[in-house]
Structure 1
């Protein structure tokens, strides 16, 4: 329900891509270039490609913060790579903001905005 107030907010779409140094050992089953995309709350993988749940677990806590606009001096704005959780694996997971998507509060929750 809207009373004419803007109830929208924006989140960044994200791409999380596997990178690795040339010849570095990989134990997580990934290949450089493997990736997934996060659009709103929905995670998308290319057809036929998997992604390690352990690698996913290493970036998952950061994704909601990376989706939101942050101050230019905040480390969340500048830092983009997360190490594979296996200390013997050379991969990194690069988080890139790929676009901005607008959402309506009422479409994302049953909880009304204050004063609505």
Structure 2
């Protein structure tokens, strides 16, 4: 089972993604509410996949993605962002994200993206 670290500053989004992932056979090994916590948990938990929000306090998802890719060039980061953040999504892909999911997301699309990794 692939392990996943869920990163989002909104607790309800983390819970929603966690339930969806676990229902589809993924193991959620941790959650983080900002980019700094995300990097610490990435190093500690070594997940197979990271779902990363872009807009977060302290350190945003783009900077956190860059740092994770510096630590682990093979890291698989999926950006989860709200509609209207297309420019940020481009920046995230340049930073090393593998793909992106737009909020509000549909379960079948989330699974398709994660399973493609």
Calculate the TM-score normalised by the size of structure 2.
0.28
Query: Which structure is higher in RCO with an 8 Å CA cutoff and minimum separation 6?
Result: 1
Structure (1 or 2) with the greater strand fraction: 1
Calculate the TM-score normalised by the size of structure 1.
0.28
Structure (1 or 2) with the greater helix fraction: 2
